[in-house]
């Protein structure tokens, strides 16, 4: 399926190139440079920074926000610090969080929490401990935009602090998405 924004861009570029071909020699100037890759619609790192991670997770981290065409929002501590790693990403989906949740297939005994996140349509947090590491994953929906926060925290960990941190992160992401009207007017569903 062709992405609607790419289709719209193609409709704008084609007439512009056709007009350039019809003009007098040299009258239209140099052709514009067109991007070789489409920039991503969103980067969760726009709403987060290392100070936020320190405040909510107690970790001294380095931020990596990827590139404009491949956002990769990661906050990593020193390798042997024992502090949590925090990562955020997003996807667009045309259904509800309940529908997306069913596709993911969580185990029935999973520790699933449903925090109230202001400005969000829905949110969920899943908490698990595997081989002495805490894994906390949060989901927040604002329209068609689904943002996901993953935290991996080695033992000894503070489970409730990390759950509070994920809740605060989901809140910051939802607030930023609402401020930018992301997921509501800027893109259409792809699910």
Three-state SS letters, the chain: CCCHHHHHHHHHHHHHHHHHHHCCCCCCCCCCCCCCCCCCCCCHHHHCCHHHHHHHHCCCEEEEEECCCCEEEEEEECCCCCCCEEEEEEEECCCCHHHHHHHHCCCCCCEEECCCCCCCCEEEEEEEEECCEEEEEEEEEECCEEEEEEEEEECCCCHHHHHHHHHHHHHHHHHHHHHHCCCCCCCCCCC
pLDDT at 28 (0 to 100): 54
Q: What is the pLDDT of residues 77-106, one digit of tens each?
A: 999 999 999 999 998 888 899 888 888 777
For the chain, give the mean pLDDT.
Answer: 81
pLDDT at 37 (0 to 100): 61
Instruction: Please give the model's pTM, rounded to 2 decimal places.
Output: 0.76
* 182 pLDDT more than 50: yes
CATH class of 44-180: alpha beta
The domain spans of the chain are 44-180
């Amino acid at each position: 399926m062709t992405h609607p924004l790419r289709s719209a861009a193609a409709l704008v570029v084609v007439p512009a190139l056709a007009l350039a071909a019809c003009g007098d020699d040299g009258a239209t100037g140099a052709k514009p440079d067109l991007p070789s890759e489409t920039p991503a619609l969103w980067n969760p790192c726009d709403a987060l920074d290392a100070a936020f991670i320190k405040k909510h997770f107690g970790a001294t981290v380095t931020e990596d926000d990827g590139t404009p065409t491949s956002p990769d929002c990661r906050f990593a501590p020193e390798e042997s610090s024992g502090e949590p790693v925090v990562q955020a990403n997003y996807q667009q989906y045309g259904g509800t969080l309940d529908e997306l949740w069913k596709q993911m297939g969580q185990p029935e005994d999973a520790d699933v929490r449903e925090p109230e996140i202001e400005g969000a349509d829905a949110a969920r947090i899943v908490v698990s401990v595997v081989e002495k590491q805490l894994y906390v994953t949060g989901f927040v929906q604002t329209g068609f935009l689904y943002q996901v926060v993953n935290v991996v925290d080695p033992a000894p960990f503070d489970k409730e602090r990390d759950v509070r941190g994920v809740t605060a992160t989901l809140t910051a992401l939802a607030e930023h998405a609402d401020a930018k009207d992301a997921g509501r007017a800027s893109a259409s569903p792809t699910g």
